[in-house]
Amino acid sequence: MIAKDVAIVGVGSSNFHELYAEKDASRDPYGLAADALREALDDCGLGKNDIDGLLCTNLKYGRMGDVIGLRNPKFVHDLEGTGRMSGVSLQEACAIVQAGLADVVAVVYATVGRSVGMKYGGEDGGPTTAYDTMYGMTSTGAYVSLMYQRYRKMYGVPEDALAPLAINNRYNGARNPRAVFQREIDHAEYIGSRFIAEPLRKLDYCIINDGAVAFIVTSIDRARSMRKKPVRIAGTAGMAELNNHYTSPDFYFAACRGVADRLYKETGLGPDQIDCMQVYDNFLPTILFTLEGFDHAPKGSAWEWVADGTIGPDGSRPLNTSGGHTSESYMQGFALHVEAVRQLRGEAGDRQVRGCRTVQYMCASPIVTSHIFTID
C-alpha cells in the first residue's frame, strides 16, 4: 500500500546494553514497554491521552492498557511475539490511520526472553512440532541452518561467507551506545566461533535479550505539528509463505520478490535509490536470502555482494547500522524500525549514514514484509 500520508513521529527503545549487563534481574515486560512508550511520546511531544490506537506485540492488550492507563482506545489488539510481526504491526498502524479507525497509533513491543531463559521454537511450537522435535529438531535457527546448507551447496559458497555480515554488524554495534555488543570482531574471531547448528556458528545467531520498543504512527498532517521531522512510510507490502516448517524451498525468494515488485512499483523507488537497509537478521543467512529476494544482490551471489564494502558505513547501501539482531539486540525487528527513523532524522551519532533520505526495512520470514521510509 502507498502510505505517503502516514508517518512515524516518535520512537523509543530500551538501553539494550544495560539490560543485558544485568542478567539475573526480574523484569516486567509491561514496565519495559511503558518506558519505551514514554520515550516515544517525549520524542514527538504527544501525551499518553493522545493515543487512540494501541497495537501490542508479545504483550497482552488488556494488561498493557491497564498498566499504562489507556482505557478507551478506538482500536486495540495484540500480536504473537514473533519477528515477522514488527512489519505487520506497522502495516496495521498505517491502515488504521488511513482508514480513520484511529488517529494516533502506538505500536509497542517488549520481551524478557533473556531473563526468563526463553527458548524460541522447539517444544512450544504448533501441534505438529513433536514430529520434528523427536528427531532433535530444535528451533528457527536450525531451520535457517537447513536452508543455508542447501544454499551453500547450490552456489558453491565457502565456509566463511557470512563473516562480512558478522563483522559488519559488530562494527556497527560498536558505534551504538545502546547495543549489547560494542566490540568489533575480525575474520579470525568469526571463523573461530563455535558451531551451534552447523553450518551456523554462534556469531551467526541473534542475541536474546530483554527490552522494549515503541513507536507512534499518525497522519502526515498531524505529524507536521510534532517536535521532529516526520518519517514517511512511502510504501509497504507483504506476502506470507506458510507451511509446516520454518523453511522455504526457494529461501523465501518468490515471496520476497512478490513484495519487492509491488513495493518498488508503488513507491517508484528501487534498490538503487535506497540509502540504508534494515534487514531482519534472526540469523545471518536470512540477510543473504533477503538481499536476493529484494533484488539488491543477484540470486545466488549475495554472499559475494556483501563482501566488497557495499554494506559498510561508507558503502553505497549501509546495512543494519545499529548492529542488527546479532549485535544491538534481538528485538524481533522492532528496533530495526526505530533505527530507520533515527537514520532518516540524522540522530544516529557515530553510525550516521551521510545523506540518508530513504531507508528500506525487509523481513524474509513466514510473513515477508518490507517498507520504504523517506524524509522530506
From 286, 343, 284, 244, select the one nearest 84 (Cα to Cα): 286
Nearer to other proteins, 37 or 137 (CB): 137
Q: Which is nearer to other proteins, 254 or 269 (CB)?
A: 254
DSSP string, 13-42: E--HHHHHH-TT----HHHHHHHHHHHHHH
Report the distance separating Cα 338 and Cα 346, nearest Å.
Answer: 12
Which residue number, 49 or 243, has a Cβ lying nearer to other proteins?
243
Q: Which is nearer to other proteins, 196 or 277 (CB)?
A: 196
Closest separation between CB of residue 211 and other proteins, Å?
23
Q: How far is the CB of 154 from other proteins (least distance, A)?
A: 6
Closest CA to 102 of 51, 29, 49, 137: 51
Q: Would you state the cell numbers that stand for residue 143, as one nine-digit string?
A: 531451520
Cα-based distances in Å from 278 to 23, 319, 337: 28, 6, 8
Q: Which is nearer to other proteins, 35 or 204 (CB)?
A: 204
- At a CB cut-off of 8 Å and minimum separation 6, what does 368 contact? 238, 239, 240, 241, 252, 255, 256, 258, 259, 293
Q: CB of 115 within 8 A of CB of 24? A: yes
Report, in Å, the least distance between residue 11 CB and other proteins. Answer: 34
Cis amide prior to 298 (ω within 30 degrees): no
Nearer to other proteins, 133 or 219 (CB): 133
What minimum distance in Å lies between the beta carbon of 161 and other proteins?
Answer: 13
**In the complex with other proteins, which residue's Cβ is closer, 49 or 244?**
244
Q: The cell 542488527 sits on which residue?
A: 324
CB of 158 to other proteins, least distance (A): 11
| Region for 349 from its dihedrals, namely left if φ exceeds 0, alpha if ψ lies in -120 to 50, beta otherwise | left
Q: What is the DSSP letter of 11?
A: E
72/135 with CB nearer other proteins: 135
Rounded least distance, CB 269 to other proteins, Å: 29
Residues that bind other proteins (CB under 8 A): 119, 122-123, 128, 130-139, 142, 145-147, 149-150, 153-156, 194-200, 243-245, 247, 249, 300-301
Q: How far is the CB of 48 from other proteins (least distance, A)?
A: 41
The two beta strands, 210-219 and 75-79, are unpaired
CB of 225 or CB of 243, closer to other proteins: 243
Beta bridge partners of 64: none
Residue 111 Cβ, how far from other proteins at the closest point, in Å? 19
**DSSP state letters, 217-271:** EEEHHHHTTSSS--EEEEEEEEEE---SSS--TTTTHHHHHHHHHHHHHHHS--G
CB 214 within 8 A of CB 36: yes
Residue 288 exposed, middle or buried by CB count within 10 Å (0-12, 13-18, 19+): buried
